[in-house]
């Protein structure tokens, strides 16, 4: 790696630049997929199975075809010839992973409530919905399994009979003398946690729009996707449309949180129907349809054991996960729990590490990436288990953390990876000071002494996570099908503005602003002089898209290096124009200084465009691309403190204060970082206190809309108290780390530890998420018995 100049923090990088994207969003001028209309367009209506598990004995679409506004209707069998392959799963973690066929429309069997069984094309959306009701489907209901542990039991109904089991895979990782460490430990704790199943709720539901040029066999797919580049590669495989004839565009996309890091049946269906009819096709999910057709998150049973000395030094951690895949494997379903595989010892130094995960098929909506993807689960388990250990030893949760922190960096952790940098004490110091830890403890004791039925609790979460996905060679080693690189192109236009092409596709993160700040820092352009293009495979052909807090730490670094290349070429031209030796020229933020005169990058860009007077061997134009493959993940960390009040009469939990101290390396835009943390905290606290997808034993989703699936609003939260420590990452020249998921990763254990802290003296240490009033009340009732 070259030794680039460091960024200047506080000028463009680090400045509170307001988001360039917001004006058009706030003024209703954004380009949403569902707003697209062209003549001749048809709308898809999808008939979905009301049964979680049923043989499909008959599908009759003729009554739907009789509807005046219907132009086509197909059962799964009718449309089967359109598919060249299954919907993609890019991560089969073991050689013997059971990977079922996954057709966009089910043919013989429906495997979850919501599985598509027929599709309608009609000239209006209303007609598509009306006609979907007319399709006659006969089902033969089969026994259902929704719980991942029950699915592994002998005699459980089989989601995919061909495997003879519901086990999808078992993946293990073991380092150190685990058995000896546990046998010799003074003390062990053994905990069991449930990761509640969550339903992602992006503000924009999913939508798909396809236009075709039948004469050329060319298709353009507009999709509310995080991953247009991955969609292009994989949908080509599903539909047989050559990659070169398929253009995928992600216009403005209203959030994803992982739910749009996927390749869905409806995208393939819209392409197939457009190909069959030769007409434009649109489909937009409703919120309640999305709950049955867009991936869910989490849903794991976690067993974690710690071995420790009587002083509280943790020796080893042993984890066993049973993770629900749902009924099929979506894009990265099996790999999601494994993204936490290295993090079950958290930020603590251990000698032994054992991890085992079994993926299990159930008759539920497939699970996949949801903000944090594997790392919230790991952080939750270790942070709660450390508190359990502290309780067992009569230690303060702060003390036990301090005793076990990793302190030397880069840190080769027992699980096998290397943490780039960190200072866990620094974050914890700030968090405790801001929380007023000792005074909260004093009030907690005072309330208890006074017999106040409203208990106070304070909970910690000292987390580290790995993001910035990812070094391609590591992805290959764990059997992920793609790479983890990212591409950036800078094109200096002749009239003084500049274009950036980024393969990292934003869906609300504000790339246009942050990327402009980086270009401004490196090349001296004003923020408004930078145009950032993204999300269209015809404009930006090379990209790996946006997920896993990778944009800045991978795509942003690619941009940094592309700027270096611009400066390098620019310097050659500038030296030539100034008639000095290249070694005599210094580049500083868009100005090339020679011994006597200087010339700006904009002037150089114009000279490169006219090409009247270029040095020998230098091509016209000033455009450079850099494809960056990160040498390591980035490892943000921090200390979060939750302070809760628990009403022991009603079970209600109120989050009184939340203090988040995050260390995400160099901050490019503090406003955007704060926004990311706010949203992440909201989603993490939602997991701890509100959200849970509940299936009944027949596989009906009981929480099928926003009345019963409790997405909290701002009214449920305190004012977030954000603070930062800054430990730059040494693995990239900007020192940046990811920030998109930290809030969702750190906050569930902080909140749950606070509730248990409030109630431990009442005898409650075993409490699952979400800590709803009734669940807390029941735990109290049980403890009172």
Partner 1 sequence: MIPAPFDYEVAESVDNAIELLGTREETKVLAGGHSLLPLLRLRLTRPSLLVDVGRLDLSYVRDAGDSIAIGALTRHHDVATAPLLQEHNPLMSFAAGLIGDPQVRHRGTIGGSLAHGDPASDLPAVVLALDGEIDIAGPNGVRTVRAAEFFRGVFETAVGPQELVTEVRVPKLIGDHVWSYLKFRHRAQDWATVGVAAVARRSNGGVADAAIALVNMGATPLRAGAAEAAWIAGAADPGVEADAKTEPPSDTNGSADYRRHLARVLVRRAVEEAEAR
> CA 504: distance to chain centroid?
13
List the beta bridge partners of residue 368: none
Neighbouring C-alpha atoms within 13 Å toward the C-beta of 131: 30
Give me 128's structure tokens. Answer: 């598509």
Residue 717 — φ and ψ, nearest 5°?
Answer: -115, 150
- Residue placing its CB nearer to partner 1 in the complex, 85 or 712: 712
Please identify, using beta-carbon distances, which residue of 32 and 777 lies nearer to partner 1: 777
Min dist. Cβ of residue 709 to partner 1 (A): 9
If DSSP codes are grouped into helix, strand and coil, which group holds residue 578? helix
Which of these, 380, 422, 351, lies nearest to 636 by C-alpha position? 422
Question: Closest CB to partner 1 among 120 and 501?
Answer: 120
Question: What tokens were used for 756?
Answer: 């248990």
Given the complex with partner 1, which of 113 and 432 has the nearer CB atom?
113
Nearest to partner 1 of 641, 688 (CB atom): 688
**In the complex, minimum distance from the CB of residue 772 to partner 1, in angstroms, rounded to a whole number:** 7
CB 548 within 8 A of CB 469: yes
- Give the containing element (helix H, strand E) for 244: none
**What is the edge-to-edge ordering of all strands in the sheet holding 207-213?**
70-75, 116-122, 42-48, 281-284, 207-213, 218-223, 246-249
426 versus 767: smaller Cβ distance to partner 1: 767
3-state helix, strand, coil in the chain (%, to 5): 35, 25, 40
Which is closer to partner 1, CB of 249 or CB of 780? Answer: 780
Closest approach of Cβ 778 to partner 1, in Å?
8
Q: Least CB distance from residue 499 to partner 1, whole Å?
A: 40
Tell me the closest approach of the beta carbon of residue 119 to partner 1, in angstroms.
17
Angle between helices 511-523 and 557-578 (to 10 degrees): 30
Cβ closer to partner 1: 165 or 703? 703
Give the shortest CB-133-to-partner 1 separation in angstroms. 8
Radius of gyration for the chain, computed over Cα atoms and rounded to the nearest angstrom: 27
Rounded to 5°, the CA angle 679-200-272 comes to: 130
Q: Residues interacting with partner 1, by CB under 8 A?
A: 125-126, 129-130, 286-289, 649-650, 652, 690, 694, 702-703, 705, 707-708, 710, 712-713, 715-716, 772-774, 777-778
CB of 201 to partner 1, least distance (A): 13
The Cα angle at residue 473 between residues 472 and 474, in degrees rounded to 5:
90
Instruction: Please state, in angstroms and rounded to a whole number, the distance separating the CA atoms of residues 480 and 236.
Output: 19
CB of 782 to partner 1, least distance (A): 13
Whether 48 and 553 have beta carbons less than 8 Å apart is answered as no
- Please state the closest distance from residue 721 (CB atom) to partner 1, in A: 21
Min dist. Cβ of residue 132 to partner 1 (A): 11
Min separation Cβ 690 and partner 1, Å: 7
Q: Which residue has the tokens 């991955």?
A: 230
How many of the other CB atoms lie within 10 Å of CB of 101?
A: 12
DSSP annotation string for 551-562: IIIIIIHHHHHH
Nearer to partner 1, 180 or 775 (CB): 775
Closest contact distance (angstroms) between CB of 130 and partner 1 is 7
Give yes or no for a contact between 67 and 127, defined as CB atoms under 8 angstroms apart.
yes
Q: CB under 8 Å to 225, separation ≥6 — which residues?
A: 231, 248, 250, 253, 256, 260, 262, 263, 267, 505, 507
- With a CB cutoff of 8 Å and minimum separation 6, the contacts of 159 are 53, 100, 111, 145, 151, 166, 327, 361, 362, 363
């Amino acid at each position: 790696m070259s030794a680039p100049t460091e960024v200047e923090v506080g000028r463009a990088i680090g400045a509170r630049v307001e988001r360039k994207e917001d004006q058009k969003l706030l003024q209703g001028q954004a380009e949403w997929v569902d707003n697209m209309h062209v003549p001749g367009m048809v709308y898809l209506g999808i008939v979905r199975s009301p049964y979680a598990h049923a043989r499909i004995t008959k599908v009759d679409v003729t009554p739907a075809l009789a509807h005046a506004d219907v132009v086509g209707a197909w059962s799964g069998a009718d449309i089967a010839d359109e598919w060249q392959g299954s919907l993609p799963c890019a991560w089969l973690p073991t050689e013997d992973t059971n990977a079922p066929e996954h057709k966009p429309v089910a043919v013989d069997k429906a495997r979850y409530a919501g599985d598509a069984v027929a599709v309608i094309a009609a000239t209006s959306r209303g007609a598509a919905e009306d006609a979907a009701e007319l399709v006659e489907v006969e089902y033969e209901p089969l026994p259902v399994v929704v719980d991942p542990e029950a699915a592994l039991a002998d005699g459980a109904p089989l989601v995919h009979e061909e495997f003879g089991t519901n086990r999808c895979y078992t993946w293990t990782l073991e380092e150190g003398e685990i058995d000896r460490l546990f046998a010799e430990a003074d003390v062990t704790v053994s905990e069991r946690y449930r990761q509640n199943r969550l339903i992602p709720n992006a503000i924009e539901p999913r939508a798909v729009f396809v236009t075709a040029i039948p004469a050329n066999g060319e298709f353009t797919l507009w999709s509310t996707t995080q991953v247009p580049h991955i969609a292009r590669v994989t949908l080509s495989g599903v539909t047989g449309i050559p990659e070169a004839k398929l253009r995928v565009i992600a216009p403005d996309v209203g959030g994803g949180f992982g739910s749009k890091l996927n390749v869905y049946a409806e995208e393939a269906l819209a392409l197939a129907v457009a190909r069959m009819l030769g007409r434009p096709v649109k489909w937009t999910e409703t919120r309640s349809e999305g709950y049955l057709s867009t991936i869910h998150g989490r849903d794991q049973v976690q067993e974690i054991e710690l071995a420790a000395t009587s002083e509280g030094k943790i020796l080893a951690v042993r984890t066993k996960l049973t993770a629900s895949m749902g009924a099929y494997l979506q894009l990265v379903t099996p790999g999601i729990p494994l993204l936490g595989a290295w993090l079950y010892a958290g930020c603590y130094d251990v000698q032994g590490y054992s991890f085992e995960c079994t993926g299990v098929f159930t008759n539920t909506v497939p699970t996949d990436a949801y903000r944090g993807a594997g790392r919230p689960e790991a952080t939750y388990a270790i942070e709660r288990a450390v508190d359990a250990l502290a309780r067992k030893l009569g230690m303060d949760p702060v003390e036990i953390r301090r005793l076990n922190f990793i302190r030397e960096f880069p840190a080769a952790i027992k699980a096998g990876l290397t943490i780039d940098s960190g200072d866990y004490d620094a974050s914890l110091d700030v968090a405790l000071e801001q929380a007023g830890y000792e005074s909260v403890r004093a009030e907690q004791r005072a309330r208890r002494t006074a017999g106040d039925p409203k208990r106070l609790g304070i909970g910690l979460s000292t987390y580290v996570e790995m993001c910035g996905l990812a070094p391609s060679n590591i992805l290959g080693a764990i059997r992920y099908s793609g790479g983890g690189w990212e591409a950036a192109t800078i094109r200096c236009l002749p009239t003084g503005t500049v274009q950036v092409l980024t393969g990292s596709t934003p869906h609300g993160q504000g790339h246009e602003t942050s990327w402009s700040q980086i270009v401004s820092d490196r090349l001296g352009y004003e923020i408004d002089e930078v145009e950032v293009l993204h999300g269209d495979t015809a404009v930006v052909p090379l990209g790996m898209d946006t997920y896993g807090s990778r944009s800045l730490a991978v795509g942003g670094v690619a941009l940094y290096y592309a700027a270096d290349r611009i400066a390098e070429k620019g310097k050659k031209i500038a030296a030539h124009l100034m008639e000095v030796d290249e070694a005599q020229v210094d580049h500083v933020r868009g100005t090339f200084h020679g011994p006597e005169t200087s010339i700006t990058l904009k002037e150089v860009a114009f000279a490169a465009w006219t090409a009247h007077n270029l040095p020998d061997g230098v091509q016209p134009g000033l455009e450079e691309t850099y494809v960056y493959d990160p040498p390591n993940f980035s490892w943000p960390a921090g200390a979060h403190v939750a302070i809760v009040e628990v009403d022991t009469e009603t079970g209600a939990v109120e989050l009184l204060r939340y203090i988040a101290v995050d260390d995400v390396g160099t901050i490019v835009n503090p406003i955007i970082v704060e926004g990311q943390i706010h949203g992440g905290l909201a989603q993490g606290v939602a997991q701890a206190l509100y959200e849970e997808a509940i299936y009944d034993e027949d596989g009906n989703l009981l929480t099928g809309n926003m009345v019963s699936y409790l997405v909290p609003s701002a009214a449920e939260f305190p004012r977030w108290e954000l603070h930062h420590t800054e430990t730059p990452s040494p693995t990239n020249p900007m020192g940046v780390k990811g920030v998109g998921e930290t809030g969702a990763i750190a906050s569930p254990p902080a909140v749950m530890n606070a509730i248990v802290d409030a109630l431990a003296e009442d005898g409650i240490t075993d409490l699952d998420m979400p800590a709803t009033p009734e669940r807390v009340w029941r735990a109290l009732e049980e403890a009172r018995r």
